[in-house]
Structure 1
């Protein structure tokens, strides 16, 4: 697993100046200290702590993006595990199920409780 790389103070300051006091996603006007510097491409997916990979976001946009990042990282983990054989599939592929055998009805002849059993030779 990749270690998270944080932005340096100088890089954060340059990103904040570039944003000019606005969220770089939704353009909301931010007060001093309200914005959060975020990686565009998460470290877990190969992103680096560079000015080009950073942007200033409002808290709402940052929460949404972080949730999306977590989903993407988990998906890549599952794909990697499946490709390397680290995890066995839980079941067969859903589109390739074997057909169910046809149902056969077993018909039994029932005797009435009031019928008397007749020997085969008598009639």
Structure 2
């Protein structure tokens, strides 16, 4: 069961922008309309990050996109894979490996193939 994404309230956004002094906290560029500000969870919301001032980062659009793509998405995907492994809910492979026991063809020692079972 997934929970709703928690956005930062207006008071926290205002305090974070004041703390950053109108600049990106990652690269230091001055934030203007068109390149931000974007408010990012330092610990991603999907990994339990709360919408607090300590967890809020003021970023420009390019830094936010880079952080999300290079750090957040892989971390969240790994956490989901680990969780599925712990509860034994890994997805079944969609196609069996040729020659394996699950494949519909069986390889003979002489090099030919025969049906493994009849449909």
Q: Do they superpose with TM above 0.5?
A: yes
**Superposed CA RMSD:** 1.7
Task: Detail structure 1 runs of 4+ shifted over 6 Å in the superposition.
Answer: none
Aligned pair count reads 90
- The DSSP-based 3-state class of the residue aligned with 2:6 is coil
Gap regions ≥5 residues in structure 1: 91-123
**Residue deviations 1:26-85, cap 9 Å, x none?**
111212573111111111001000011001001111001111211111111011101111
TM-score normalised over the length of structure 2: 0.69
- Where does 1:40-119 land on structure 2 (aligned, <5 Å)? 40-67=42-69, 68-87=71-90
From the superposition, tell whether residues 88 and 35 of structure 1 become closer, same or farther in structure 2 (CA, over 3 Å): closer
- The DSSP-based 3-state class of the residue aligned with 2:77 is helix
1:69 & 1:42 partners in 2: Cα distance? 6
TM-score normalised over the length of structure 1: 0.67
Mark the structure with the bigger radius of gyration. Answer: 1
